[in-house]
Amino acid sequence: MEDSYRHKGMRRQLVKVVRSKGIKDERVLDAIGKIPRHFFFENALVEHAYQDKAFPIGAGQTISQPYTVAFQTELLNVKPGDKILEIGTGSGYQSIVLLELGAEVYTIEYQKELYERTRFALPEMGYKANFFFGDGSLGLPRFAPYDKIIVTAGAPTVPDALIDQLKVNGCLVIPVGNTKTQQMLRLTRLEGNKLRKEVFHDFKFVPLLGDDGWKK
Contacting positions for ligand SAM (CB under 6 A): 61-64, 87-88, 90-91, 93-94, 108-111, 114, 135-137, 152-153, 205-206, 208-210, 213
Nearer CB in complex with ligand SAM: 15/153: 153
Q: Taking the complex as a whole, how short is the minimal distance between the CB of residue 70 and ligand SAM, in angstroms?
A: 12
d(CA 167, CA 190): 9
Q: Nearest 5°: phi and psi at 144? A: -70, 160
Please return the burial class of 142, using the count of CB atoms within 10 Å of its CB with bins 0-12, 13-18 and 19+: exposed
Nearer CB in complex with ligand SAM: 15/87: 87
Q: Taking the complex as a whole, how short is the minimal distance between the CB of residue 170 and ligand SAM, in angstroms?
A: 19
Q: Taking the complex as a whole, how short is the minimal distance between the CB of residue 29 and ligand SAM, in angstroms?
A: 17
Q: Among 4, 20, 64, 91, which one carries the catalytic annotation?
A: 64
Q: Nearest 5°: phi and psi at 169? A: 75, 5
Q: Taking the complex as a whole, how short is the minimal distance between the CB of residue 3 and ligand SAM, in angstroms?
A: 18
Task: Lay out the sheet containing 130-133: strands in order across.
Answer: 130-133, 104-109, 83-87, 146-151, 166-177, 182-190, 194-203
Nearer CB in complex with ligand SAM: 94/165: 94
Nearer CB in complex with ligand SAM: 86/147: 86
CB 208 within 8 A of CB 155: yes
Please return the burial class of 155, using the count of CB atoms within 10 Å of its CB with bins 0-12, 13-18 and 19+: buried
| Cβ count near 12 (within 10 Å) | 12
d(CA 73, CA 79): 11
Nearer CB in complex with ligand SAM: 46/168: 46
Q: Taking the complex as a whole, how short is the minimal distance between the CB of residue 188 and ligand SAM, in angstroms?
A: 21
d(CA 62, CA 88): 10
137: annotated active-site residue = no
- Catalytic sites, residue numbers: 64
